[in-house]
Amino acid sequence: MKSILLVNLFLITMSSSFIGNCKEQYSIEVWDYDYSMAYTTFYKIDADSVTVEYIGGIKNERDSVLMKRQLREDECKVVWNFISSHNIDHFKDKYSNPLVDDGDRKRVILNIKGKSKTIEIANFYQKDMGELFDVINKIVNKDLQIKYKRPS
């Protein structure tokens, strides 16, 4: 009986540290396209949770959730600190290297306080987006991190 009470106390403590930690409402969606391998990795982070999905690009291939969990309070704060320090209106709609047709392509949708911004990235390094991906990479599993090369 004592062990059941300890387990319940532990579960209540853990669940309360995950629920309702963000006061601000926001969402970040990232589509990381890999056309050569015919799939997309989709990331969604909002004030409550983080989700990473595999979206297959081949007919009859099944999509799958690779990771889904609630955000911890410290993770929520890191994401909010990044978002709140940037004015999304200052981002261009598209960052692209016209000399490369294929390669590294991403779509980012930021929803913050009722405002939304969609940003297309194609073979181009944009510093603020690199910092955003670094924030996301601190939250997701190591094998699911977004790859985004800084110029040499």
The yes-or-no verdict on residue 14 having pLDDT over 80 is no
Domain limits at 61? 21-144
150 is a domain residue: no
Evaluate whether residue 16 is within a structural domain: no
Task: Give 18 or 119, the one with higher predicted confidence.
Answer: 119
Of 130, 134, 26, the closest CA to residue 83 belongs to 26
pTM of the model: 0.83
In-domain check, residue 114: yes
- Spatial separation of the C-alpha atoms in residues 89 and 80, rounded to whole Å: 17
> Which range among 29-38, 52-61, 127-136 has the greatest average pLDDT?
127-136
Count of domains for the chain = 1
Q: Per the domain annotation, does 134 fall within a domain?
A: yes
Q: What is the pLDDT of residues 82-117, one digit of tens each?
A: 999 999 999 999 999 999 888 889 999 999 989 999
CA atoms 15, 16, 20, 23: torsion sign: negative
- Domain assignment present for residue 99? The answer is yes
